Amino acid sequence: MARIQPGYRIEDLSLPSIDGRVYSAEEALGKRYLLSFFRFAACPFCNLRVHNLVSQFDEFGDNFTVIAIFDAGIEELIKTGGRHNAPFAILADEDNRYYRQFAVERSFLGVLKGFATRMPQLLYAVFGKGFVPLHIGGHVATMPLNALVDEQGVVQYVHYGRDEGDHIPIDAVQRFALTGQVPFE
């Protein structure tokens, strides 16, 4: 599948959530949101990113949410994702249906690059925050995908990560949340 581009409409996205229900992206219509695809449930980089989003969520305003999707089964994701007490949806895509639909990429070179260039971040995630990857379910080489989506469910900006810690910066997410401006406009 080809990479998604700005203008792509998010439709028919429905997955199990760690809160025990099936979440649909239709629930986010009327709000801007960050759609973020992550690696396996215990990924230290991924859990540090979710932690940072939770920590700064109040700064995004009332017209914004996050949809976080993991390459994991729901039981595994509940064990790791539940500790965040996230005010947004954390979803499991065990069959990779949406990973394929959104052309989420895999790269072993990206994994090596992330370990080489983000070692302080990795050490902080594991030893500072306790995000220890005791079980690796899902694909190790999955790279992140972040999409900023408007109130009508249309992608305004998309970022395909080049390593496992490569995401849209939090300040750019906040700017989009508050103003609708996409990064690098």
Reported as a pLDDT band with limits 50, 70 and 90, residue 82 is confident
Tokens of 93: 């895509």
The pLDDT assigned to 35 comes to 98
Residue 88: the pLDDT is: 98
The model's pLDDT over 87-143, given as tens digits with 9 standing for 90+, comes to 999 999 999 999 999 999 999 999 889 888 888 888 778 788 777 777 777 788 999
Kindly state the tokens that stand for 82. Answer: 């539940």
Residue 103 and residue 2: Cα distance in Å, rounded?
6
Please report the pLDDT score of residue 183 as a whole number. Answer: 78
3-class SS at 157?
A: strand
Assigned CATH class of 14-179: alpha beta
The answer to whether residue 146 scores a pLDDT higher than 70 is yes
- The pLDDT value recorded for residue 5 is 97
Give the pLDDT band (50/70/90) at residue 185: low
- pLDDT on residue 179: 96
CB atoms within 10 A of CB 59: 13
> Do the beta carbons of residue 24 and residue 13 sit within 8 Å?
yes
Q: Mean pLDDT, to the nearest integer, of 156-183?
A: 95
What does the domain layout of the chain look like in residue ranges?
A: 14-179
Q: What is the CA radius of gyration of the chain?
A: 15
State the pLDDT at residue 140: 87
Model confidence pLDDT, tens digit, residues 10-19: 998 999 999 9
pLDDT tens digits for 18-44? 999 999 999 999 999 999 999 999 999
pTM of the complete model = 0.93
pLDDT tens track for 36-66: 999 999 999 999 999 999 999 999 999 999 9
Residues 20, 11: Cα–Cα separation, whole Å: 22
Q: Identify the residue with better confidence: 185 or 134.
A: 134
Q: Which residue has the tokens 């070692």?
A: 119
